Amino acid sequence: MLARSGSAAALQNKELWDLASDEWKKFLEKYPKDPRADAAQHYLGTCYMKSKKFDEALAAFNAVLKDYPTFKKIEDTYLNLGITQFSAARDGKVF
């Protein structure tokens, strides 16, 4: 499991957003109870946001807020949620 999250993080650090989001998603599907699932869900949202997949990003960030309310970087999740909402509205999406 460390290899998969490490792979996702490495791809994200290289700004390969689509590949990284695929790896984060696989990690969450395979290890939904992992102690790092909260961070994986957050980073999944971040990758979607960076690749302008705003609907998916919103779903991922909302999942962090709903499923992991004590996530240590919850402020970052709220910030990214707001950025995603703003970016989507700027692109003409209405929520």
pLDDT of 89 above 80: yes
What is the C-alpha to C-alpha distance for residues 28 and 56, in angstroms, rounded to an integer? 15
pLDDT at 4: 65
Higher pLDDT, 1 or 20: 20
pLDDT 10s digits, 13-41: 999 999 999 999 999 999 999 999 999 99
| Half-sphere exposure for 22 (CA within 13 Å, toward CB) | 4
Distance spanning both ends of the chain, measured CA to CA: 35
What are the pLDDT digits (tens) for 43-81? 999 999 999 999 999 999 999 999 999 999 999 999 999
Q: CA 3, 77, 25 angle in degrees (round to 5)?
A: 35
